[in-house]
Amino acid sequence: MSLSLFVSGTDTGIGKTHAACTLIHALRGAGHSACGMKPVASGCIDTAHGLRNEDALALQAASAPSPAYEDINPVALLAPLSPHLAAAHEGVTITLPPLHAAFQKLVACYDTVVVEGVGGWRVPLSPSLLASDIPKAWTLPVVLVVGLRLGCLNHALLSAEAIQADGCRLVGWIGNCIDPAMAAIEENIATLRALLPAPCLGILPHGVSPDRAWSRLDLAALQF
């Protein structure tokens, strides 16, 4: 496949990392070397090895072979805030060059790098930088993770509209069942299939780990 991807989401807390890890397992299952990357992460834990982020560690664990943590997560921030606020609290300015340098190290070693964004498409990283600037600058096709809950239709359609308006290619979407009690879930999924301008790569069930759920993804549906 030899092509990297950017994973965005309809909101914070909708399972981008879960979907990204599942995507990595699916790529590995198809015979590709694949790793994850979380260029910017806030809400890290201070450990003996430095700041560590739960999502970045999950991406590292899903990757094979396992890359260095610093390459997966070059900007780790302590406060569980929007990255631009967490960075300001620590006197850090987030810029693209250090992120791209880490990305290039991973690209040199893997067929595919699955780059996970932070929050939704428009999350600010600094006063002059947005999360969406990463896939724009690196020319990455985008996979949108839709958290299946009440309100997801509006969030998904607005996100898809913004991705395309920024000149990025939306190559697929993944539905993640974060609310197992969601009413009319199949009808909502059918609406998303009809209205989103990219194919559904799969629907991830609630409570199934990425190493077991990956076979539910259809990589052949990716519109490269």
Cα-based distances in Å from 154 to 157, 185, 195:
5, 15, 11
DSSP code per residue over 154-189 = HHHHHHHHHHHHTT--EEEEEEE---TT-TTHHHHH
Sign of CA dihedral 63, 66, 54, 139: negative
Q: Where are the alpha helices (DSSP H) in the chain?
A: 16-29, 54-62, 69-72, 83-89, 96-107, 133-138, 152-165, 185-195, 210-213
Q: How many residues does the chain have?
A: 224
What are the catalytic residues?
38
Residues 49 and 58: their CA atoms lie apart, in Å, by 16
